[in-house]
């Protein structure tokens, strides 16, 4: 699981590490709303969540995060306490993301709205919050609403958020199985943002849709 000596020592002596496959252990993944992978959770002995880390991180940063969590630093509870006395939109965004990854859509939306309403509605933090808001509609399969939101972001924001919104529009069309619009939107993305690091991804999607591979009958 870990090949780093520091990590091995940490989980051998300071915390108990249990690895689960969320796609197999669906009861646990549903209980903790583990939908993004990898997700690492710090739990109390009774199974209650202290907090989580979603995604990858360098070893020392990863371990320090859980040391901090165990000391009540950087947890959702800690951040909510700070937000009661601080006006910090970056803090609001962090809280919103914690709620999002815990599967608490209403909590996340409330804090994303705070990010937008407490500052410049067209700055980078608002763009990130708007993208996240649109993603709630996409994940709920409310595709028409998602497309409206992504279109507004594409029109109102410069890159990266305006650019990313176009990619997400194409992804929504693909989820709707609308091949023609998916291709057209990816092509529009390439035309508008030819230097984007996502150009290769867009080109791959276009190729797959225009030339679907026929599965072997064997």
Any bridge partners for residue 40, and if so which?
53
Sequence length of the chain is 218
Instruction: Report helix, strand and coil shares of the chain as percent, to nearest 5.
Output: 60, 5, 35
CA 158 from centroid of its chain's CA atoms: 20
User: Which domains, from first to last, does the chain contain?
Assistant: 5-70 (3.40.30.10), 75-119 (no CATH), 131-211 (1.25.40.10)
**Residue 41 and residue 128: Cα distance in Å, rounded?**
24
Closest CA to 38 of 20, 15, 63: 20
Quickly list DSSP for 179-194. HHHHHHHHHHHHHH-T
Task: For 51-102, write each residue's pLDDT tens digit.
Answer: 999 999 999 999 999 999 999 999 999 999 999 999 999 999 999 999 999 9
Tokens of 24: 């197999």
Q: What is the DSSP letter of 121?
A: T
Low-confidence ranges of the chain (pLDDT < 50): 215-218
pLDDT of residue 19: 86
pLDDT of residue 214: 54
Question: 119: burial class by Cβ within 10 Å (0-12, 13-18, 19+)?
Answer: middle
């Amino acid at each position: 699981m870990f090949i780093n000596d520091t990590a091995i020592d940490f989980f051998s002596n300071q915390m108990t590490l249990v690895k689960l496959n969320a796609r197999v252990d669906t009861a646990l993944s549903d209980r903790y709303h583990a939908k993004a992978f990898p997700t690492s959770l710090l739990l109390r002995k009774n199974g209650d969540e202290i907090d989580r880390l979603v995604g990858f991180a360098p070893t020392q940063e990863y371990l320090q995060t859980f040391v901090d969590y165990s000391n009540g630093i950087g947890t959702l509870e800690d951040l909510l306490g700070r937000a009661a006395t601080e006006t910090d939109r970056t803090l609001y965004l962090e809280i919103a993301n914690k709620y999002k990854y815990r599967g608490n859509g209403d909590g996340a939306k409330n804090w994303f709205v705070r990010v937008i309403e407490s500052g410049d509605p067209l700055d980078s933090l608002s763009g990130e919050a708007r993208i996240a808001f649109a993603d709630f509609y996409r994940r709920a399969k409310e595709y028409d609403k998602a497309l409206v939101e992504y279109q507004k972001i594409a029109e109102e924001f410069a890159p990266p958020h305006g650019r990313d919104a176009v990619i997400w529009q194409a992804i929504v069309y693909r989820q709707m199985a609308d091949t023609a619009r998916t291709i057209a939107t990816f092509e529009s993305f390439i035309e508008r943002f030819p230097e984007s690091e996502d150009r290769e991804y867009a080109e791959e999607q276009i190729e797959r849709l225009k030339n679907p591979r026929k599965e072997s009958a064997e």
